[in-house]
Amino acid sequence: MEKTIIGEWCNPYTYQSTGELKGFNYKKGGVCEAINIPSLELKSWEIKDGYLITKGFDINEDGSKTPYETKERIEKLNADTLVLVAQEANPKLVFVYLNTKVIKNRVSVGD
């Protein structure tokens, strides 16, 4: 899983509606960066027991920083698609990301 997740992953719905690539860049060595999300200063990622854990800081409007950490279950991960479950029930909350290598071929802006 660690090798497959390395790369840039963006939200296809944001890309479709605005043409902007927004998401996450998971790099070798557990380093993570936000893509076009100025309110996030991400530092690290790891996969543990089937969960993707991403850590860093939320940047507040006044410039102060608040610790940021997500722990999301990996429902699907292949070379093109990453599906994360942030909440299991009531309601189930799922985030879908596409690898930036394929997003422009699969999603049309403005549709």
Averaged pLDDT of the chain: 93
Q: How far apart are CA 25 and CA 54, in angstroms?
A: 11
Burial class (CB in 10 A: 0-12, 13-18, 19+), 61: exposed
Q: Which of 63, 60, 54 is nearest to 34 (CA)?
A: 54
pTM of the entire predicted model? 0.88
111 — pLDDT class (breaks 50, 70, 90): low
Q: How far apart are CA 5 and CA 21, in angstroms?
A: 17
Q: Residues 1-4: contacts with CB within 8 Å, 24+ apart?
A: 1/47, 1/74, 1/77, 2/47, 4/77, 4/78, 4/79
The string of pLDDT tens digits covering residues 4-50 is: 899 999 999 998 999 899 999 999 999 999 999 999 999 999 999 99
* 3-state DSSP percent of the chain in helix, strand and coil, to 5: 20, 55, 30
**Are the C-beta atoms of residues 100 and 8 closer than 8 Å to each other?**
yes
